[in-house]
Amino acid sequence: MSCRRYRYFVAISLLALLTFATRAISLDAQSLWRDEVDALCYAHEIPHLISKSIVPGEVDGFSPPQACPVLPVRAAPSPDAPIGQRLTRTLDGVIRQNGPLYFLLLRQWIWLAGKSEYGMRFLSLIFGVLCVPLTYVLGQRLFNRQTGAAAALLMTASPYLAWYSQEIKMYTLVPALVLAAIYGLHRAAHEGGWCWWAMQIVASSLAFYTHILAALLIPIQIILYLLWQPWTRRQWRGALISFMLLVLPYLPLLAWQAPVIFRAQETGFHHYTLRQMVEILLNGWSLGIACEGRPWGAVLMGALAVGGMLGPFIALADSPSMDEAAPLRNRLALFCWGTLPLGALWRVSLWQPLFTDRYLIWSAPAFYLSTALGLVFVGRRGRWGYGLMITLACIVLTFAGLNQWRQATMPIKSDFRAAAAYVAAHNARHDAGKDELMIFQIPHGRYTFDYYFSQSDYRWREGLFTNHQDPDGSYLLSVSEAAQRMAAMTAPYDTVWLLVTEMDMWDRRALVKEWLDTNWHQAESAHFTRVDVYRYQRP
């Protein structure tokens, strides 16, 4: 290993260690939120459902964690149906946009590390750290070592990736697999070798089974292969076999999902315009979840990314040589990787809203590589350029460090940990709990509450869903009917707890709380991040 390569190896190793340290130290700073508890439940339920589908009636003794709802076994198909139909019918509706791979991995990880917040989140941390060296090797492959190292530094500092490295979801596994798939495709298409084609096929397939929107990786890889012509022309056989292996096995899946994808329906997601989607992604990828420094931090990184894309085109517009044309095509490849998934999701969202920024997290490395190109381009503009590059990099890292610190110290997720501790402390002081009623608004919050609440035999009810509306906008549930239901629900009790989170999703008119405020005495209340707790006494 040459001295230059050794220095880069040491630098990337230190960046990986720094990534691990900064994210591991605050891994359990945030309370679990409902999606993370869902992941815990799926990790137990999905292996059980798959076993029941393969061997119907012979898999018993399933005992989910306290925080999990009852399995949707009533949707199970007939035991006489073909095994493929049993599997798809069983899993349909359980995992929605998510594939089963992450949950199968998480189930084994829980067996090894336990069900603590820290233990379960550690799996995402591993994949988040792995993204740093993968970004470096891809950046070096597409451009040069300086760009790869700068992109790896941005991935290390990224508060957005730090956030999802500290969440029990698949959102660091997907970008790691996509980075590996694109790296394998580039090496296979330029050098040949079945090991690289195998790497591309396996990483892409695993990405599909991790998140269904990773299927957009197939058209992107086809475009990348075409962009890399004529260098890749000799590898057309390997490319054809690779893409056939990626496309043909999933045609039945496409036939299964296509009617759902192209059907207009309400999904519970917000309707965003394309401009709003771009702003959300730019703010998130630049400044993370806390978004301290908005809009200037996002404007700076966006300008560097655009500069990284367009600068060399302007400088080489006259007559680029073959050597110069390759990086230009790689910039176009980054542009396609970063924008086409967003365009496809925006198009589908016109009739079926599906946009959530984390669904496109696997395009974030393209943004960081583009930003790194902008920094390197500025640094090569002479002595003044090098100083400006250092200044801009320091500003970017300052914004990133501030947002990582805020994410690690400021409660952001629904704080059911504190809410459950508050209720438990009250019950311990007053020897209460069993003869009290807890109403959860929204009901899904109960599963996160149960993860932290040691008592399992308390009485609880779902808060009323009051948001159903006619096409003319009038509500189907009247105020008087809601009052009657609340009176019947609370009749056997003298004490009622109301735990409120994301109320607009379930009761935007706040009829449940308004009825309790009017007809009961509010004895105490406590307010935590995104969770409010009220205790009422019958007058």
Q: In the prediction, which pLDDT does 326 show?
A: 63
- Angle at the Cα of 87 (from 112 to 101), degrees rounded to 5? 35
How far, CA to CA in Å, does 111 sit from each of 104, 107, 509? 11, 6, 43
**Burial degree of 301 (CB within 10 A; 0-12, 13-18, 19+):** buried
**Burial degree of 517 (CB within 10 A; 0-12, 13-18, 19+):** middle
- Token pair, residue 377, equals 């381009």
The residues, ordered by sequence, that sit 6+ positions from 236 with a Cβ below 8 Å of its Cβ are none
Q: Could you give phi then psi for residue 57, rounded to 5 degrees?
A: 80, 0
Please tell me what DSSP assigns to residue 526.
E
- Token pair, residue 2, equals 């040459």
- Which residues is 348 bridged to in the sheet? none
pLDDT 10s digits, 368-403: 999 999 999 888 877 788 899 999 999 999 999 999
Whether the predicted pLDDT of 279 surpasses 70: yes
* CB neighbours of residue 435 within 10 Å: 11
Q: Could you give phi then psi for residue 268, rounded to 5 degrees?
A: 95, -10
Q: In the prediction, which pLDDT does 74 show?
A: 41
Peptide bond into 230 cis (omega under 30): yes
The residues, ordered by sequence, that sit 6+ positions from 455 with a Cβ below 8 Å of its Cβ are 424, 427, 433
The SS3 of residue 351 is: coil
Please tell me what DSSP assigns to residue 525.
E
Please tell me what DSSP assigns to residue 250.
G
Q: In the prediction, which pLDDT does 348 show?
A: 87
Residues 201/243, Cβ–Cβ less than 8 Å? no
Whether the predicted pLDDT of 55 surpasses 70: no
The residues, ordered by sequence, that sit 6+ positions from 68 with a Cβ below 8 Å of its Cβ are 37, 40, 41, 44, 45, 447
Residues 428-436: what's their mean pLDDT?
A: 73
pLDDT 10s digits, 60-116: 555 666 667 655 444 455 666 666 666 666 665 555 557 789 999 999 999 999 999
Q: How far is 536 from 240, CA to CA, in rounded Å?
A: 67
Residues 237-258: what's their mean pLDDT?
A: 76
- Token pair, residue 301, equals 């990184």
Whether the predicted pLDDT of 407 surpasses 70: yes
How far, CA to CA in Å, does 202 sit from each of 16, 183, 292? 24, 12, 39
Q: How confident is the model at residue 416 (pLDDT cuts 50, 70, 90)?
A: very high
* CB neighbours of residue 196 within 10 Å: 21
Q: Could you give phi then psi for residue 90, rounded to 5 degrees?
A: -70, -45
Comparing 317 with 170, the larger pLDDT belongs to 170
